[in-house]
Each structure stands twice: as C-alpha cells, then as structure tokens.
Structure 1
Amino acid sequence: MQTGTLSELQIILVVTAPLPGVVFAVQHGRDGLLSPYASTPDRLSFALTLSLGPALPDGSFNYRGPFAQGTPADRFIYLNSGTYAGQPDTPWARRAKIRLAGMPGDLVAAATGDADRAIEACLHGMARDGGPVCASVAPALIQWRLVGHP
C-alpha cells in the first residue's frame, strides 16, 4: 500500500456529545496531551498528524508518530478523558482506543501527502454506561470521511 519515505496524513478527530464537565484530550507520546482546537458543548475537534512509513510486511499502512500508539501491526489513537486528560477534580479516568486499521484505505491513499485534505473520524463521546467513551471503540461506531479541498 504505502512505500518509500515518510508521508504525512492529517487526521481530524471529532467527538460528538461529550460528557458535560469532563475534559478530553488526545494522547501525544507517552504522557503528552493534545487539547481540542475547537470546542462546543456538543462537539470537540482535535487536529493531529500521523506519518506513514514503508508498508508493513502484510502490505498494510505503517502509521507512525507520537499520536500512533501500540505496535506497528496494531496502531491506535488514545482519546483520554477525566484524570487521564489532565483533569484533577473528576471521578472519571478513561481512555478510548481508536484503531487506525479501521480507516478505509482509499481515504488514506487520497489524503496522504496532501496538506489540503484530512481524514475526519467522528465518534460519540459517551459510553453506554453514561460515562466518557472508553475501551476499544468498535469500527462500526466511527464514521470516517475525507474532508478538505481536492
């Protein structure tokens, strides 16, 4: 799929219906946090960049960079909430895994290396138990789409 040198891929992570009063952040590296660039009571938006290296042995995309957590064969983005997002005065301490293997390959191919395009991943910010979204988010619960100018 992806070969050669590193290329950049812009990702916009959108969290809809975040739990009121709970802070969300995307994990950067081991313990860094990325705050949303846009925030309303109904929607949080995070902008991040991944690098794509040479394809993995099975031909799948090789996501890299400080936002790509996990092993090369199982990369994901952590969406942290509550104390994991730097909020000291909350009973919540959760992380949600957004698996990068769930990104449609055609969108990755269309957006990689194009500064005017991004892949938007949209997910619901509240879990079934009424707390912040957590654990591995089922791929069917994430809407992926290409955004930007062709």
Structure 2
Amino acid sequence: MQMRIEAVDLPGRTCGAAPDFPGYDNIHVAVQRRDRRDELLDPHPGDAASATWTLDCTATATDAGIDIRGPYIQGRPGARFVYLSWGTMDEAGTFTMFRRAKLMLDAIAPATVTAAMSSGRLLARLRLTDGRGQPLCAQVRPPHIEWSAAPQPRGVDTATP
C-alpha cells in the first residue's frame, strides 16, 4: 500500500518572530525517516504552492486493529504517526530542524484504512500553516487533516514482496 500526503497552504520561506517563535529564514518541510532524524524525504520550500510525498507502507490486521508500518512510519503499534519536519536549509543544503508535526495514524477511521488496503492507497490532505501563520506543528488529527482511501495510479504495483 502507499500513503500519499498532499499538503497546501505552506507558511512561506520566511516566518517572522512571535512571542513563542524565534522566526526563521529559508524554511523547508520534509518527511522524516523512522529512527533517522537527519534522513528526510523530498524537502519542499516553505513557499511552494503545495507539497506531496508518497510513502510505501504495509497495513496488517492485528487483534488491536490495523497496524500501518513502513520506513517513514514512526511510533509503536496503536500510536503510529508520520513526522513532517520543518527546518532551515543553509547554502550547502544542510537541513536544521526547528519544529515537527505528527500526522497521527490512530485518528484514521478503521473503515478508511480497510478501504485503503483494498484500493492500495491511503490519502492525507492538510494545510501546513497554523492559525498564527506559522509552520503547522504538534499532533495533527481531524479536522486539521482529512484521511481517505484513493485508487492506486495506473501502472503501480501494490504487491508486497
């Protein structure tokens, strides 16, 4: 199965200082790999019109429900999530993280996960700017994210070896 994250309304490449936010320049956002804080999938600049990531994962039925796992899925069963890492990018391309958002997988309706297992794709849609105009952070659950099952694009094999 694949998980596709589609994000819009990014906060900008520069976010000014606020009482609890020091402000940053050359902001980027990426998906963080499990247990590898510095390994990021496809960083997007904070002023991009949108950002999209596609993650390979598996969904397995267990006694406790459906467990979603993969190289970019963090946490333990029942508390899994995907990290969107916010950071600055220097001229050498070095990413320095300053904030993260946790896309909480336990907030997905079981029927949606079951449908995604059949269709081959779980789709997440969200805005990446919070109510103060800053990069979205903390735990992200509905209504701030919309989860759905989507058909797999043509020519994509969903079989797991």
Short-chain TM bin: 0.7 to 0.9
**1:54 deviation in Å?**
4.4
Aligned to 1:69: 74
Count matched residues: 134
Which among 125, 133, 142 is matched to residue 145 of structure 2?
Answer: 142
Identity %, equivalent residues = 29
Is 2:17 the counterpart of 1:10?
no
Aligned to 1:20: 12
Output the CA distance in 2 between the equivalents of 1:113 and 1:28: 25
Output the CA distance in 2 between the equivalents of 1:19 and 1:11: 23
Output the CA distance in 1 between the equivalents of 2:152 and 2:121: 9
Task: Provide, for residues 83-112 of structure 1, a one-character-per-residue CA deviation record: whole Å limited to 9, x for no partner.
Answer: 4xxx24799711000010122222221222
List alignment gaps of at least 5 residues for structure 1.
1-8
Output the CA distance in 2 between the equivalents of 1:20 and 1:91: 17
Which among 48, 52, 55 is matched to residue 41 of structure 1?
Answer: 48
Moved over 6 A (4+): 89-92
Q: Secondary structure at the match of 1:74?
A: coil
**1:140 deviation in Å?**
1.6
Q: What is the TM-score of this pair, normalised by structure 1?
A: 0.76
Is 2:91 the counterpart of 1:99?
no
List alignment gaps of at least 5 residues for structure 2.
14-26, 154-161
